[in-house]
Amino acid sequence: MNNSLKISIVVLTTIILASCSRSSSSRSKLTGLEFNNPKYGNYIRGNSFEGQDPPIGMVAIEGGSFTMGQVQDDVMFDWNTTPKKIHVRSFFMDETEVTNSEYFLYIQYIKDVFPPSEEKYKHIYNSVLPDTLVWRKSLGNTDILTESYLRHPAYAEYPVVGVSWIQANQYCKWRTDAVNLKKLIEKGYIENIFERDTVSNFFDTEVFLADDSKLFDGDTTIYKRGVRTRGSVRRDKNSFQGRKITRNDGILTPKFRLPTEAEWEFAAKANIENREYNNIRGRKKYAWNGKYTRETTKRFRGDQLANFKQGKGQYSGLPGWSSDGSDIPIRVRSYPPNAFGLYDMSGNVAEWVADVYRPIIDNEANDFNYYRGNVFTKKMIDKNGRVVIADVSNGASVEYDTLPNGKIIPKQLPGSIKYIPITKDDVTLRRNFSVADNRNIGDGDLNSTRYYEDDEDEFASRASMYNSPQRPTKTYDSITGKEIFVNDSKKRTTLISDQTRVYKGGSWSDREYWLDPAQRRYLPEYMATNYIGFRCVSDKLGPMTYKKRTARSTRR
């Protein structure tokens, strides 16, 4: 009897304390007004933030300071990777490159939502397809890879290649929308639209937040708002009580994107294994610790730690003794990960990063989360104060753009929000930025000098610093009326422009020199190769880390 009484008191006390805790957390500590209560205005307060789990397929990268650039001898003497101390914020990163199977899922989704058989969508599907012809060689028998590398199951877990920087960015955006759609279905907010054949599966996170009635062909019956219907919807601590989900709820995942050059290099170097107290001991030449490309442990001594070209004609090794296991890209996770748990940060395929390329990184421009490539935009708003969405109904057509190599891509997918560059009025009296396009800010070209006059027509007639190829001009055949795209045939002095992007890391076809994470190369954003792939990152919200600081060395 006494035990029963004690148990009852404990249970009652727990319930009272939990009730008080919920009551105090749902009230404003400064006004006493209750959050998320229709009786008090239904003002939103997100649920308590208990930490952010890594998105599926990603690992957490704790940020900090590091020396970006080459810490070994600069044998090229081009001052392209001069060392500089910068700070990088914490983020999440894919533990492997995006594979053929994952990218093929994206291709199938686009084909399902924007069928190429419909005239208005005819160029969208082709715009996301990798360029499989990158495997062809004028003097090489590699044509079989153009047919099999992307789609054959033998290469399903190999990193996707033949993808341009533009295509990689579009994949990151789609991945954000796909992950958020899956979350909303699991939360019971949206009906499982994949089980219905009557509506389009297209989902855009920004449109959902701005005006969700524009999604799913306007069928608002899809939204269940988390309300229980015949016991089919689960409630949890993130319940939104039948109202619309907003960013304040913390349910939607942050955007996936390409890593900045600084983030990629920081993650690849993984100096965490060289930390002793608050210092870094030694200098890392590769993504792993050590001076050599071969394994030094007793069990695997002599094995290569990356997939790279070891010499002229040496992509793998002698028959019966393959030094690195592959003569082309190899299955992801084939080599040990670095100290952050990331695979193939040296070798296998090089990877696109977000930055616009310039020969010299700005030493004094920004030492906090450095990035070159910002183009600040804002949502386009119509005269009624509503966001403008790219619509193909009522006879409207998809807007396309023609790249310098002649490929046709949609300016944006139908159903997504239109964005425009910020204006002069948006930057009035601002101190942190003054223009919309910051890709060439402070790099020495005319737009960055005191001689620049704010007159677009006058500026367009002047020569710029980088004489790079121009986009094709459109003409029409006088007889057939067919569109003809004429490529820029003038002799050009450089590929460097505001459309030139950095790629990092060595690949299966590169020599050992390029395995150094500090090395950087560039290519126009619309081009693709058989040795460049990509991986995504996502921002970590809240504290840099929830771990306690430790003074001991983490060196293994």
Which one-letter DSSP state was computed for residue 148?
H
Q: What share of the chain is helix, strand, coil (3-state, %, to 5)?
A: 25, 15, 60
Both tokens assigned to 235: 């409630």
Predicted TM-score of the model (pTM): 0.86
Task: List beta partners, residue 539.
Answer: 91
Q: From its phi and psi, is residue 79 left (phi > 0), alpha (psi between -120 and 50) or beta?
A: left
Give dist(CA 451, CA 33) in Å, integer.
56
Could you tell me the CA-to-CA distances from 451 to 429, 448, 498, 521 in Å, in that order? 22, 8, 20, 31
Query: Which helix H or strand E contains 279, and what residues bound it?
Result: strand 279-280
What span, in angstroms and rounded, lies between the C-alpha atoms of 17 and 107?
Answer: 52
Q: What is the pLDDT of residue 128?
A: 96
Contact 471, 402 (CB under 8 A): yes
pLDDT attached to residue 21: 43
Q: What is the DSSP string of 429-477?
A: T-SS---SB-TTTTSSSGGGSTT--S-HHHHHTSPPS--PPPPPEEEE-
Residue ranges per structural domain of the chain: 2-40
Rounded CA-CA distance 412/271 in Å is 39
Q: Which residue has the tokens 């005239």?
A: 119
Maximum CA extent, the chain: 102
Give the number of C-alpha atoms closer than 13 A to the C-alpha of residue 71, restricted to the C-beta side.
18
Stretches where the chain sits below pLDDT 70 are: 1-25, 46-49, 73-77, 225-242, 282, 321-322, 361-365, 394-395, 444-466, 546-556
Give the residues across from 294 on adjacent strands: 304
Q: Which tens digit of pLDDT belongs to each residue from 172-224? A: 999 999 999 999 999 888 989 888 877 788 999 999 999 988 898 888 888 88
Ramachandran assignment for 522, one of left (phi > 0), alpha (psi -120 to 50 degrees), beta (any other): beta
pLDDT value at residue 555: 45
